[in-house]
Amino acid sequence: MTTDEDKSSCAWEDPYALALRNGHGPVYLRLGAGRRIRMPVHRWYAQPTLADESVLSRCVGPVLDAGCGPGRLCRALLSRGVFALGVDVAPRAVAHTIALGGVALCRSVFERLPAEGDWQTILLTDGNIGIGGDPRALLYRCVQLTAPTGSLLVEVDPEDVDERCTARFEDTHGHEGPPFPWACLGAPALHRIAEDLVLSVTDQWRCGHRCFLALGRHDSASGRRR
């Protein structure tokens, strides 16, 4: 039952928070240049897809899911006996993850996190390479979080893009959420940043329309992966 208080809450709640609250969209990401991307809210609440499975099969625990949303990936890993922790700045996303049996913290990946330097896999899927609007800073932070033998599994835009912008979430009625820094990267741009950070692209694959890369550290002296 929806009360008058609920309706009042919905009136001011931003479109992204409402999508998380309701478990469905449509909700769009409006980028600085005007491009609008429909967010796959239904996928966030569904069982892992074939593309998701291609990522999950490459995960070695412990796993940190950065920007976990409602937690479908970290919950799937836990159900398979792989420890995974989700982190997200959206309280509703974290609450949903925990309610369905996942483990999650309401925190930015740039804040202090448990087991820094010991994570074997960090996930940056569903466009989360854009977190903070500076992919280089984000990847550098993720390197700090991973073990020397760890890897980063990153989903990139299927197109050759390299865009930093101020973005907003919006709904079909034109209601907008607050602005935040964001970025969209394709594989070529990620290759360039990885090289700059002395990271190796150890794997690259597509599944349907989605594109992923695996990154690992290099030994700066020998050039071989540690």
pLDDT tens-digit readout, 57-81: 999 999 999 999 999 999 999 999 9
Token pair listed for 7: 């309706």
Phi/psi for 78 (5° steps) reads -60, -40
Dist. CA 175–CA 168, nearest whole Å: 10
pLDDT tens-digit readout, 5-43: 333 334 457 898 888 888 888 999 999 878 899 999 999
Token pair listed for 95: 């609450």
Global pTM value: 0.89
Whole-number average pLDDT of the chain: 89
Dist. CA 206–CA 224, nearest whole Å: 25
Q: What percent of the chain has pLDDT over 70?
A: 91
Reference 29, options 203, 204, 214, 157; nearest CA is 157
Intervals of the chain under pLDDT 50: 1-11, 220-226
Instruction: Find out whether the peptide bond into 62 is cis, omega within 30 degrees of 0.
Output: yes
Q: Domains in the chain and their CATH numbers?
A: 50-165+177-217 (3.40.50.150)
